[in-house]
Amino acid sequence: MMHIMKPCNSGMGLKENVSEIHNKKNRACQTSTLCMHAFYDLAHVSPVVFLYLLKECYFYGTSKATAKFRALQHQVYLVLHNDPKPGPATFVVQCLYVSPLFEDHSRGFSHLVISALRRFLKRATASEDSSEAKNIAAHLFLDIVCGRVSHDKNITVKVLEIFDVRLTNVEKVMCQLKAKNNSSCGTAKECIEQYIFELVESQLYMTAVTLIEHFSIRQSGQSFLLSMIQGNQFKAAEKWAIFMGKPMLRILVEEYICRNMLQDAYETIKENNLQKDFPDLYQSFEESSLKKLAEKGYWDVAEARTNSDKQLIEYLVYLAMEAGYTEKVDELCDRYCLDGFSDIKVPETRIQHGLYLHLNELFVEDIIWVDEIEGLLDATNHIEGCKLIGIDCEWKPNHVKGSKPNKVSIMQIASEKMVFIFDLIKLHGEVPEILDNCLIRILQSPRILKLGYNFLCDIKQLAHSYEELSCFKHYEKLLDIQNIFKEPRGGLSGLAEKILGAGLNKARRISNWEQRPLTPNQLEYAALDAVVLIHIFCHLRGQPQTSVDKFEWKSHIVSYTESTEKSKKYTYCKLEG
């Protein structure tokens, strides 16, 4: 037995509240029982009673509106399997006839039963009542058109679509009405055209176009297209132009061009195969797209985008020449048998003006490729003797959306005059334990200040690529250069230009880093990304104290342990030398 604690001066009020709560629960329970009983015995339940029960379920539910709709939609879907009379599709049409009686809930209930029937028809075999349902749906559509039944325009369109009501079905209903009432009226087509005209007058262009397309009515002309465009109904205009064919699509594109809506014009040209009609605009946008991809380093994607079009391939070659990406120029010329490019003078760009950094300008004495155990041990011994190193890594890009990223291919570790490039794939395959031990000695050493740029991304990729190694689960004494600046722009290249007066040529950033051997240009690119970090840091450290303070770089030195997922600040110890 449950005892209720209550204040002595408000006993009656509490009893009344408890009683009211019990009454509400009883009403909800009775309603739920009634609804469930009716849902499982539809043979004797009329559509109006069924919708009333839906309304009761909706009111007594405690979930949010969206959750209620989904739950009821699923319930109606199950109900339609209970063999309602005369059949599921006919039962839904009858529900649509009476749903306007529920006023504010009419639209929601109509959408609910239609969506449930659509789901039912996808999984069920052909219903025996489909022919009868189509006739009733045609009758419902005609009653909506004539104003005898009030439904939202979206509901009207859905009725036509889900029951596949055609002009012949509407004509059949009209003939039955003529015979029954012994009266004469226009044809079904005339009736529908008048309804479409009223929709256009009300500027309901999308609904009007949908009906024109559904009933294959092609009498409207260019003026209709212009009225939609002037009303900023561009989606409806395009839908109608596609239905009418290429002549009207050409007019649509010309209107887009006149209004300087060039992106819309280009997309319409591309999607409807109008390239030959507007070659200059199409070519201009394709070249612009290739240029944006090339600027981001997506050369493989840009090449695929050309679809082997010779003119676009040649433009891509020019972009590679301007970027100083000589091996890409040779690669494209060989693959597509292009002649004469070796004699072409490259247009003046930042490369010709010497505004990109080069290794010889940073006094790098050697780039050492490390893919054997002896070279790995020698490199580790050299790096352990440094107090300052720059770290970066590269991996082959994966342009397939949703696919797993490729393994990190190489790791670059630079001292002031030497750059070691570790072939992680080969070393991990041949000597994983020794590789792990060597990188632990480097990454977890508290005596070496390690410089990176957006290093958190790199370390996550490294840990994901080589999950069984311990070296990437913990690092000590890292300074991420990116975090020093509040608003870094242009990435590492932009930062190098800001600090050192010249940026990095990022043309090879997204290339095949798994190919062996890497090209000399790839090696130079990889080495620059690591060694430039040292030069940026040394430049900042060499500035006057008043200038250095604003960067607050000392407070950004951190360490990280995967097990705790916490970073701790290090007190910076002055570097010697």
State which H helix or E strand residue 367 sits in.
strand 366-370
* Residues 363 and 339 placed together within one structural domain of the fold: no
Q: Which residues of 398-410 are buried (b: 16+ CB within 10 A; e: fewer)?
A: eeeeeeeebbbbb
Mean per-residue pLDDT for 154-171? 92
Quick count: other Cβ atoms within 10 Å of Cβ 298? 18
**In the predicted structure, residue 559 carries a pLDDT above the cut 90:** no
Looking at the fold, whether 510 and 438 belong to one and the same domain comes out as: yes
Overall number of domains in the chain: 3
- Give the pLDDT score at 51: 85
319 and 399 in one domain? Answer: no
Pairing of strands 418-423, 366-370: parallel
Contacts of 557 (CB under 8 A, 6+ apart): 449, 477, 478, 479, 569, 570, 572
Domain co-membership, 300 together with 325: yes
Any domain includes 210: no
- Mean pLDDT throughout 249-253? 95
Q: What are phi and psi of 167, to 5 degrees?
A: -60, -40
From 165, 197, 224, give the residue that closes a domain: 165
Q: What are phi and psi of 409, to 5 degrees?
A: -90, -45
Q: Of the ranges 95-109, 128-142, 478-492, which one carries the lowest mean pLDDT score?
A: 478-492
Angle, helix 279-295 to helix 262-271, in steps of 10 degrees? 100
Q: Is the pTM of this model over 0.75?
A: no
Beta strands 418-423 and 408-414 are antiparallel
pLDDT score of 472: 94
- Residue 309, phi-psi category: left (phi > 0), alpha (psi -120 to 50), beta (remainder): beta
Mean pLDDT of the 244-264 span: 93
Task: Please name which of 148, 163, 153, 141 lies closest in space to residue 91, comparing C-alpha atoms.
Answer: 163
- 363 & 507 share domain: yes
| Same domain, residue pair 430 and 510 | yes
Q: What does the pLDDT look like over 101-129, one tens digit per residue?
A: 888 888 888 999 999 999 988 876 655 67
Residue 127 — φ and ψ, nearest 5°? -80, 140
Instruction: Using the predicted structure, report yes or no on whether residue 569 has a pLDDT greater than 50.
Output: no
333 plus 381 within the same structural domain: no
- Residue 123 inside a domain? The answer is yes
**Residues 269 and 246 sit within 8 Å (Cβ to Cβ):** no
Domain contains 129 = yes
Q: Residue 370 is part of a domain; what is its CATH number?
A: 3.30.420.10
Domain boundary residue among 165, 180, 195?
165
Residues 299 and 432 in one domain: no
Beta pairing, strands 388-395 & 449-452? parallel
Worst-scoring range by mean pLDDT, 71-80, 359-368, 377-386?
A: 71-80
Q: Which H/E stretch holds residue 514?
A: none
Does residue 500 lie within any of the structural domains?
yes
Q: Within this chain, do residues 337 and 364 fall inside the same structural domain, yes or no?
A: no
User: Are both 363 and 482 inside the same structural domain?
Assistant: yes
**Band of the pLDDT at 343, cuts 50, 70, 90?**
low
| Residue 177 located in a structural domain | no
Highest mean pLDDT among 32-41, 324-333, 352-361: 324-333
Mean pLDDT taken over the chain: 82
Question: 517: cis peptide before it, omega within 30°?
Answer: yes
Domain hosting 339: range is 295-343
Judge whether 213 lies within some domain: no
Note the pLDDT of residue 568: 45
Residue 178 neighbours by CB distance under 10 Å: 12
In a domain, 199, yes or no: no
pLDDT at 540: 78
423 bridge partner residues: 410
pLDDT over 90 for what percent of the chain?
42
Distance CA 358, CA 505 (A): 9
The letter for the amino acid at 31 is: T
